[in-house]
Chain A
Amino acid sequence: MEASSWDALRKQARRLEAQLDDQMIAYRKLVSMKSDGSENDIESDIERSLKQLQQVNSQMQTWVSSGGSEVLSHTLTRHMEILQDLTQEFYRLRSSLRVKQQHASLLDLRDFDRAKFDVESGDSADQALLREQAAISRSSGQMDNVISHAQATLGTLMSQRSTFGGITTKISNVSSRLPTINHILASIRRKKSMDTIILSLVASVCAFLILVYWLSK
């Protein structure tokens, strides 16, 4: 019963992992292309599969805790790692999808296309003014590029600053070795007291033997 139970759990875990791989591939494809509204279904499926895999891992954990061997423990750890990787991958993809959706929703991108069409159909005077505005915006953008280069330089300087901070941390780590030195000193002191005890015992035994010899003479 136990052996078949373990094998059944293992088989179930493997099936769920394969299923999750397929679902993750579909989800990844969905995230990289335009969404058609079916992402909610796939997300629910993936979440359900992850939950099932978690339960199977818990059962395997229970099985291992009640007297499994090291090989089984190793296998269980591997399954837990796989679950962890799949979960993180799912979180990352879902965040990426949310960001795209929110960005599109914030800017009303469909309206944006229509607005662009309206701009192109305007008369020539308005078009000239809009072209000038675009040129000014580009100049402003280039100035912001220069500013961002300066800020990148600032970021580099700040990372140097954090490097020096790291050096400070390393120095404080070296000073944290001092407890280890105290630890060594404590060991030395303990061994010295142990030697003292041994020496006292030896001296006592010798004195006792001398006394016995003197009395028997």
Chain B
Amino acid sequence: MGDHEARGDDFEKKAEKKLSGWGIFGSKYEDAADLFDKGANSFKLAKNWSRAAQVYIKIANCHLKGDSKHEAASAYVEAANCYKKFSPQEAAQALNQAVDLFLEIGRLNMAARYCKDIGEIYHQEQDLEKASDYLEKSADLFDSEGQSSQSNSIKQKVAEIAAQLEQYQKANEIFEAIARQQINNNLLKYSVRGILLNAGICQLCRGDVVAITNSMERYQDIDPTFSGTREYKLLSDLAAAMEEGDVAKFTDAIKEFDSMTRLDPWKTTLLLRAKNELKKKEDDEDDLT
């Protein structure tokens, strides 16, 4: 432990000396980066993550001065791996630098992957706005590289986050777009009804009965078999309950569905919001009468 730390210190001092020297033959940045790399490795062995991360940032700066963008980006990724152990915010910042560099050198695939990592870090830290932004960016980059399956799974996450942030129209549009795309794939079309259920729940949260009816007609256009599923029955029952302003009917429909297929936390949250809105409306009507 102490040995590794001392060795890391040694390498770091040598690298700093190399940087401040002349370096007529060869590149001093390159040599310094090599020494820094050995130092960072020693710090990792000593489990001193903060020192290791700082040294990796220095490596990235060396490579940037030496005009090696790919190596700099890789160094930022390594720094982010160290930062993840104790400071997710700084890990996200380091990955952001790596993403910028990968975009500059045209490696969209790797930029998309690390962009997704940033989104997941922010999601874990419960910063939904930033998570949504980075995941959207990642989905766009995957689309640019023609990887639609990766893009779709990330877009579903984006849509779920948008619904949690009460951006129901955006979430609904994303879910519908994914469903329309997956219905053409023989392997993926069986999960379309789940996606359409999610889209329908977003419409219920908006509270517009006409929009719900139009949406359900659109869903049947997307997937002709949807009208025979339990998901469709649930949505139509909930829409009818919403139109009549009947909270008990709303609750009964959900109870029936939940007794066979337990609702996941996301659906539970959104349906609870819709029910609370309906209850509020019902109370208002009672006050009027």
Contact with A along B72-104 (1 / 0, CB 8 A): 000000000000011110000000000000000
Given the known inter-chain contacts A73-B50, A161-B149, A176-B107, please indicate yes or no for A108 contacting B251, CB distance below 8 A: yes
Taking CB atoms, residues of chain B closer than 8 Å to A151 are 190-191
- Kindly list chain B residues whose C-beta atoms are within 8 Å of the C-beta of A77: 48-50, 86
What's the A-B contact tally at a CB cutoff of 8 Å?
100
Instruction: Specify which chain B residues have a CB less than 8 angstroms from the CB of A84 in the assembled complex.
Output: 85-88
CB-based contact A165/B187 at 8 Å: no
B110 contacts A183, CB within 8 Å? Answer: no
B263→A103 contact, CB < 8 A: yes
In the complex, per-residue mask of B115-135: 1 if CB is within 8 Å of any chain A CB, else 0: 000000000101000000000
Q: Give the nearest-CB partner of B6 in chain A.
A: A70
Cβ-defined contact, A107 with B251, below 8 A: yes
From residue 189 to 205 of chain A, which have CB atoms closer than 8 A to chain B?
A: 190-191, 194
Most chain B beta-carbon neighbours within 10 Å: one of A70, A81, A91: A70
Contact A144 B268 (CB under 8 A): no
A140 close to chain B: CB less than 8 A: yes
**228-287 of chain B: CB within 8 A of chain A:** 230, 251, 254-256, 258-261, 263, 265, 268-269, 271-272, 275
Any B CB within 8 A of the CB of A137: yes
Q: From B68, B87, B261, B272, give the contact of A105 (CB < 8 A).
A: B272
What residue of chain B has the Cβ atom nearest to residue A187's Cβ?
A: B30
Give the contacting residue for A176; candidates B49, B110, B261; CB below 8 A. Answer: B110
27 A–B pairs (Cβ distance < 8 Å), ordered by A: A73-B48, A74-B48, A76-B50, A80-B50, A80-B86, A81-B49, A84-B86, A84-B88, A95-B265, A102-B269, A102-B272, A103-B265, A105-B272, A106-B263, A106-B268, A107-B254, A107-B255, A111-B251, A137-B256, A141-B260, A144-B230, A151-B190, A154-B187, A161-B187, A162-B149, A183-B68, A190-B26
- Residues of chain A having any CB pair with chain B under 8 Å: 70, 73-74, 76-77, 80-81, 84, 88, 91, 95, 98-99, 102-103, 105-108, 111-112, 137, 140-141, 144, 150-151, 154, 157-158, 161-162, 165, 169, 172, 176, 179, 183, 187, 190-191, 194
Please report B residues at the A interface, Cβ cutoff 8 Å: 5, 9, 25-27, 30, 46-51, 68, 70-71, 85-88, 107, 109-110, 113, 124, 126, 147, 149-150, 187-188, 190-191, 230, 251, 254-256, 258-261, 263, 265, 268-269, 271-272, 275
